[in-house]
Amino acid sequence: MLKWSIPVVALLGAALFLAPASSAVERAVPVPVPALDVKPSKGEQVAVLAGGCFWGMEAVFQSVKGVHSVTTGYAGGTAKTATYAQVSTERTGHAEAVRVVYDPRKVSYGTLLRIYFSVAHDPTQLNRQYPDTGPSYRSAIFPQDDEQRGVAAAYIAQLTKAKAFPKPIVTKLETGAFYPAEAYHQDFFWRNPTHPYIVRYDKPKVAAFRNAYPMLVN
As a whole number of angstroms, the distance between CA 98 and CA 69 comes to 10
**Which residue in 53, 75, 156, 212 is the catalytic one?**
53
Q: Indicate if 53 belongs to the active site.
A: yes
End-to-end CA distance of the chain: 26
In degrees and rounded to multiples of 5, residue 65 shows phi and psi of -65, 130
Between the alpha carbon of residue 81 and those of residues 76, 133, 157, 173, the distances in Å are 10, 22, 33, 20
DSSP assignments along 63-105, one per residue: TBTTEEEEEEEEEESSSSS--HHHHTTT-S-EEEEEEEEE-TT
Compute the 3-state secondary structure of the chain and give helix, strand, coil in percent, each to the nearest 5: 40, 20, 40
**Coil, strand, or helix at residue 13?**
helix
DSSP state of 137: G
Kindly list the catalytic residues. 53
